[in-house]
Amino acid sequence: MGWKETAEPVLTRMPSVERPEGHVPFKRKLAWTAGILVMYFFLTNITMFGLATGGAGGDFYGRFRSILAGSSGSILQLGIGPIVTASIVLQLLGGADLLGLDTDDPRDQVLYQGLQKLLVVVMICLTGLPMVFAGNYLPVNSQLASQLGIGVFGLKTVLFAQMFVGAVLILFMDEVISKWGVGSGIGLFIIAGVSQQLVAGLFAVPALGTQVTGFFPAWYGIITGGIQLDPFIQSLLFDPGNILALFTTVLIFSIVVYTESVRVEIPLSHARVKGARGRFPVKLIYASVLPMILVRALQANIQFLGQILNNYVNLPAFIGVYSQGQPVSGLFYYLAPIQSRADWMWFSGAFTVSAEPWQIIIRVLVDLTFMIIGGAIFAVFWVETTGMGPESTAQQIQNSGMQIPGFRKNPQVIEKVMERYIPQVTVIGGALVGALAVLANMLGTLGGVSGTGLLLTVSITYKLYEEIAEEQLMEMHPMMRQMFGSD
């Protein structure tokens, strides 16, 4: 008996959101999407019961928060972290062909989805338990613990239970969006979190309780003389002028929108309907930027491991030396991604950098190599496991009744044509996105958004726009939906 037969009774009974029967009208999809988005904002503002005054003792995810969503100290403390980590494990297992699952087989699809949910639950425990019971990331209210008579350990258990419920809720919210809404829940949550930071970076006013001054209020103060620029050029480029951050933000927007339009278009014609022609676009960023979440999440988990080890073990200096919870030298320092200008601009005089220049250069090169190679590898895994590879694409074109003019109507022939473009474009696009994410992080963006977070937000928003346009087109022309199998 194989592992599938052994695990099937458990995996097939994992709770799931029921798929809609037939076509879901576009307005209903928008209603589900908007409802889940409101629910997400609501949950990010619910502080966990039992936290000490002042909330969390520091965001455990730090600058990774913009791509892992959620909110520190709230019931969505873990954000999409467990979902992404479980996806990494499944991508690696599937890429090594250790699962033996055929995602085209309905039975194996159910097993795959059940296995993913089971892994998410495991990752919630592996991530949440150390976060609550190790270190001081979520300090409990000891006075409240005494009043309730459950002790500090009991109140920490209550904290973990709330965190567990929040992580499970976000899992099913993502599934609702995928089946009943528009786009992806994970992408929607990333857009929501990053958009808040961008708005704060543009308009935040300290008088309203924020700790930073937004771009426009800062420049109003500069023009009226309320804010002094000393030294002049340094203040214009960095705080409070933030011209470099504005330039980087606009540059990332422009590059992503441009690269989304760069594509190789393979001509198609309908086998039965004369004059019915189309094109299959193979975009430069064919795998989208979603695999970049997996790469950054892998880096976040490596840093998570380092912090846990540092709490319990005296690490050798070559493994990692920590100061205030952050690596300052050793292997974990070199594996830590560049998150802002302060991590590498030792020559500008605007930041205090404790590391030596040669150490910073090595760290930048390691981060760049990790992101380029990791982006290419995870892009290939993503294409193969989401039905975007040459074989799956050829079968989809064949099923839609289309064919490539000048070639026999045969899926194997179409697959060979697709193999000329898809694998190469996937690797190039994944590597390009990785390099772009590092560049954006190094230069900094408005609102303290990580470069990867901004990159993801722009690309996901562009994809969402395309999906909405496609949904509207299908709604206006139902015959097209039947032709391309969208029902």
Matching residue, tokens 């309730």: 148
The pTM is what? 0.79
By mean pLDDT, which of 37-41, 175-179, 469-473 is the weakest? Answer: 469-473
Q: What's the average model confidence in pLDDT over 37-44?
A: 92
Break the chain down into helix, strand, coil percent, rounded to 5: 65, 5, 30
Give the pLDDT confidence score for residue 58 in this predicted structure: 58
Query: Do 162 and 79 share a structural domain?
Result: yes
pLDDT at 271 over 70: no
In a domain, 383, yes or no: yes
pLDDT tens per residue across span 417-437: 888 888 899 999 899 988 988
Give the pLDDT confidence score for residue 282 in this predicted structure: 85
pLDDT tens per residue across span 387-397: 788 888 888 88
Query: Do 251 and 174 share a structural domain?
Result: no
CA distances from 57 to 43, 45, 60, 164, 194 (A): 20, 17, 9, 19, 22
The whole-chain average pLDDT of the chain stands at 82
Q: Provide the residue range defining the domain that includes 97.
A: 27-182
Query: pLDDT band at residue 200, thresholds of 50, 70 and 90?
Result: confident
In a domain, 320, yes or no: no
Query: Do 252 and 140 share a structural domain?
Result: no
Query: Do 274 and 129 share a structural domain?
Result: no
Query: Do 235 and 170 share a structural domain?
Result: no
Q: What's the average model confidence in pLDDT over 241-267?
A: 84
CA distance 274 to 352: 68
DSSP 30-99: HHHHHHHHHHHHHHHT-BPTTBPTTS-SS-SSGGGHHHH-S-TTBTTTTTTHHHHHHHHHHHHHHHTT-S
Partners of 322 in beta bridges: 327
pLDDT at 346 over 60: yes
Give the pLDDT confidence score for residue 290 in this predicted structure: 75
CA distance 76 to 71: 6
Give the pLDDT confidence score for residue 388 in this predicted structure: 83
Q: Which helix (H) or strand (E) holds 467?
A: helix 451-476
DSSP designation for 238: S
CA distance 328 to 471: 50
Query: Do 136 and 56 share a structural domain?
Result: yes
User: What's the domain count of the chain?
Assistant: 2
In a domain, 109, yes or no: yes
Query: Do 122 and 61 share a structural domain?
Result: yes
By mean pLDDT, which of 3-7, 51-55, 208-212, 266-270 is the weakest? Answer: 208-212
pLDDT at 55 over 60: no
Query: pLDDT band at residue 173, thresholds of 50, 70 and 90?
Result: very high
C-beta separation of 285 from 291 below 8 A: no
Token pair in block for residue 7: 């695990």
Percent of residues, the chain, with pLDDT higher than 90 = 14
Query: Do 52 and 176 share a structural domain?
Result: yes
Which of 175-179, 184-188, 294-298 reaches the highest mean pLDDT? 175-179
Which of 147, 182, 217 finishes a domain? Answer: 182
Give the pLDDT confidence score for residue 350 in this predicted structure: 67
Give the pLDDT confidence score for residue 345 in this predicted structure: 83
Query: Do 382 and 284 share a structural domain?
Result: yes
In a domain, 211, yes or no: no
Query: Do 250 and 173 share a structural domain?
Result: no
C-beta separation of 367 from 338 below 8 A: yes
CA distance 419 to 403: 15
CA distances from 448 to 18, 339, 410 (A): 39, 10, 51
Query: Do 278 and 405 share a structural domain?
Result: yes
In a domain, 350, yes or no: no
Residue type, 93: L
Query: Do 176 and 91 share a structural domain?
Result: yes
Report which of 183, 217, 242 is spatially closest to residue 30, judged by C-alpha positions: 183
Give the pLDDT confidence score for residue 95 in this predicted structure: 64
Which of 149, 165, 182 finishes a domain? Answer: 182
In a domain, 145, yes or no: yes
Residue 319, Cβ neighbours under 10 Å: how many?
Answer: 17
Residue type, 405: P
CA distances from 80 to 47, 65, 362 (A): 17, 10, 30
In a domain, 152, yes or no: yes
In a domain, 222, yes or no: no
Peptide bond into 281 cis (omega under 30): no
CA distance 78 to 61: 9
Q: Which helix (H) or strand (E) holds 327?
A: strand 326-329
Q: Are strands 263-270 and 277-283 parallel, antiparallel or unpaired?
A: antiparallel
Token pair in block for residue 218: 């800062």
Say which CATH number the domain at 57 has. Answer: 1.10.3370.10
CA distance 416 to 169: 43
- For 140, the 3-state DSSP assignment is strand
Report which of 115, 87, 140, 84 is spatially closest to residue 13, judged by C-alpha positions: 115
Instruction: Write a three-state SS string for 378-441.
Output: HHHHHHHHCCCCHHHHHHHHHHCCEECCCCCCCHHHHHHHHCCCHHHHHHHHHHHHHHHHHHHH
Give the pLDDT confidence score for residue 60 in this predicted structure: 63
More confident residue, 33 or 351: 33
Partners of 267 in beta bridges: 279
